[in-house]
């Protein structure tokens, strides 16, 4: 598989936050869900891809080009959707089209207005008056009009109503149909990722916790439940986000450790949402044990 985006050993530190050795790759023709809690480093990674943030170390390559040296060339092939509109919001879509056209050699005016029509966007109303969903669609229409090969979306569905979210996900699925284009889709709404993503990268505290196919992730972890007394100590150590309560416990367990578990313990497939929750709980547990040690 040819990778459209490759990140290797990306490190970037700010005061109170650091991205540490972030590495993952997105193959051509697929959608990658980029998930993690707020503050896990998703936006910093995206800003680094766009050369808006400068990595301390590591290498980012998009379309086989270096993100620092060839950022202008890279941006010509990117479609970017942020959670808020970055275009002049007092202008209507016609003027926006006039502004953007010269920047892209592949720009198609017909495609832009065809998309506007298809998305039900008026071209004579200031885009600042658009709803959030309409603004997303406008940014997507712009991306599709210059034949972007990689669409990067940073939290596009947060704040969207369910219908608009559904529409957006359909558009993204349609976008990659020709198998030449890819989508990197950052979100903390994991239901969206479960619906459309082929690959998932989970970022936690500035580090990649998992990166692979959605199926691999689903098969790699289970939610384990039962009585604490039935849980062998060796397995207890492997549990992630262990949460004990009066009548038993719940924890996330890598499937590698399922063999030989007592039959009294129940386990079921973990959803992405559950995985994120248990990772966060593990953090909490670690902090609590550090506090106890102190």
Partner 1 sequence: MSELRKILRYDFISAVPVTGTFCGIALAVCLITALFGVPLGLVSFPLTAVFFASSKELSKSSDVIEGVLPASRNSFIRSKFAELTLSFLAGGAMAVLFYLLSCLKLLTGILPEKLEHSVRAMDGFLDTAGVTMPKLCGIIVIFSAYFCAVIAAAIMVMELCRHKWDTVIMAAMGLATLILLSVFVDKIAELPIRTVIIISAAAFLGSLMISLICCQVTCRISKDLEI
Residues in contact with partner 1 by CB under 8 A are 47, 50-54, 71-73, 75-76, 80, 82, 84-91, 95, 98-100, 102-104
Closer residue to partner 1, CB minimum distance, 44 or 211: 44
Give me 28's structure tokens: 């051509």
Residue with tokens 């262990």: 242
CB of 103 to partner 1, least distance (A): 5
Closer residue to partner 1, CB minimum distance, 82 or 119: 82
Query: Shortest CA distance to 4 belongs to which of 148, 214, 171, 181?
Result: 181
State the Cα–Cα distance between residues 161 and 6, nearest whole angstrom: 32
CB of 180 to partner 1, least distance (A): 19
Query: Shortest CA distance to 38 belongs to which of 83, 69, 87, 92?
Result: 83
CB of 82 to partner 1, least distance (A): 6
CB of 78 to partner 1, least distance (A): 8
Closer residue to partner 1, CB minimum distance, 107 or 119: 107
Half-sphere exposure of 62 (CA within 13 A, CB side): 27
Q: Which residues contact 46 (CB under 8 A, 6 or more apart)?
A: 34, 152, 154, 184, 186
CB of 104 to partner 1, least distance (A): 7
Closer residue to partner 1, CB minimum distance, 73 or 287: 73
CB of 6 to partner 1, least distance (A): 20
Question: Is residue 68 within 8 Å of 236, Cβ to Cβ?
Answer: no
Closer residue to partner 1, CB minimum distance, 81 or 235: 81
Query: Shortest CA distance to 112 belongs to which of 154, 143, 90, 158?
Result: 143
Closer residue to partner 1, CB minimum distance, 54 or 109: 54
DSSP calls for 43-96: HHHHHHHTTSS--SEEEEEETTEETTTTHHHHHHTEEEE-SS--S-TTS-HHHH
């Amino acid at each position: 598989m040819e990778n459209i985006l490759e990140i290797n050993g990306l490190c970037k530190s700010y005061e109170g936050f650091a991205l540490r050795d972030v590495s993952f790759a997105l193959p051509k023709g697929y959608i990658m869900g980029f998930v993690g809690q707020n503050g896990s480093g998703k936006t910093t990674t995206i800003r680094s891809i766009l050369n808006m943030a400068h990595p301390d170390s590591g290498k980012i390559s998009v379309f086989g080009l270096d993100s620092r040296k060839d950022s202008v060339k890279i941006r010509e092939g990117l479609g970017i959707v942020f959670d808020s509109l970055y275009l002049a919001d007092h202008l209507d879509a016609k003027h926006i089209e006039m502004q953007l056209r010269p920047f892209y050699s592949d720009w198609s005016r017909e495609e832009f207005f065809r998309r506007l029509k298809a998305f039900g966007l008026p071209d004579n109303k200031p885009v600042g008056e658009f709803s959030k969903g309409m603004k997303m669609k406008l940014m997507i229409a712009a991306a599709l009009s210059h034949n972007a090969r990689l669409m990067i979306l940073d939290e596009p569905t947060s704040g969207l109503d369910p219908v608009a979210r559904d529409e957006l996900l359909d558009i993204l699925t349609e976008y990659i149909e020709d198998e030449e284009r890819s989508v990197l889709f950052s979100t903390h709404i994991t239901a969206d990722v479960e619906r459309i993503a082929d690959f998932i990268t989970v970022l936690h505290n500035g580090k990649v916790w998992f990166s692979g196919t959605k199926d691999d992730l689903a098969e790699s972890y289970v939610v384990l439940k039962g009585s604490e007394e039935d849980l062998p100590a060796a397995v207890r150590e492997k549990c992630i986000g262990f949460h004990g309560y009066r009548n038993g416990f719940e924890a996330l367990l890598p499937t590698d450790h399922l063999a030989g578990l007592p039959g009294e313990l129940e386990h079921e497939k973990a959803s992405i949402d559950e995985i994120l929750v248990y990772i966060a709980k593990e953090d909490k547990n670690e902090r609590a044990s550090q506090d106890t040690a102190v």
